[in-house]
Amino acid sequence: MESDIGHRLKRIREGLKLSQRALARQSGVANATISQIEAGKLNPTVSMLKKVLDGIPVSLGDFFGDEFELRERVFFRAGELTEIADGGVSYRQVGANLSGRSIQLLNECYQAGAGTGKHAMTHEGEECGIIISGRLEVTVGDQVAVLKAGDAYYFKSNQPHQFRNPGNVECVLISACTPPTF
């Protein structure tokens, strides 16, 4: 998947007639980092990839989506959910193209020790989630809690936030975000 991330990023960047340096300036990510991602030498964390894509701007969902859907779909089979992350974190999104939509619904899975990266994320909107299995450490601003199955969170997304699985088994949760930001 990591070489696919680099290939997709380069294709989108070149399609927008942006140089790596221009994307670096717009996103606040070092030119060398963008070069390494595009070459498949660096597998970015979710927060790093989101920061790069914010410079275009392209959502994570659109970035990982196969093609824009021509008509509004109502039903999605398990194998049709759009994977929008890589590595130890999996975000499986309901629908591929969320432009014009109000809600983003995700089936998330964090492998043991995996998280969203060392940099906190911020964006407009609100998000919430409920833990299905395992444990998830959620940091929102200066508040930190380790949640277990049945526990939930809800916060305004303009606060810096991070997620990490502190356990030794995978953590599965369902989350929603409005408006869609990935």
Residue % of the chain over a pLDDT of 70: 92
Residue 144 identity (one-letter amino acid):
V
CA 157 – CA 140 distance, rounded (Å): 9
pTM over 0.95, yes/no: no
- Residue 15: which domain range? 2-44
**59 domain-assigned:** no
Give the contacts of 84 (CB within 8 A, at least 6 positions apart): 60, 61, 63, 64, 65, 91, 92, 93, 106, 182
CA 107 – CA 53 distance, rounded (Å): 21
**169 domain-assigned:** yes
If one counts the domains in the chain, the total is 2
Which pLDDT score is estimated for 70? Answer: 37
Q: Are 68 and 157 members of one domain?
A: yes
Contact 82, 68 (CB under 8 A): no
Measured distance between the N- and C-terminal CA atoms of the chain, rounded to whole angstroms? 17
Q: Are 155 and 70 members of one domain?
A: yes
**119 domain-assigned:** yes
Whole-number Cα distances in Å, 59 to 8, 9, 99, 132, 151: 13, 12, 9, 26, 28
If one counts every other C-beta atom within 10 angstroms of the C-beta of residue 38, the result is: 21
Residue 146 has pLDDT above 90, yes or no: yes
Residues 40-98: tens digit of each pLDDT: 999 998 889 989 988 887 778 778 775 534 346 788 888 888 888 777 899 999 987 67
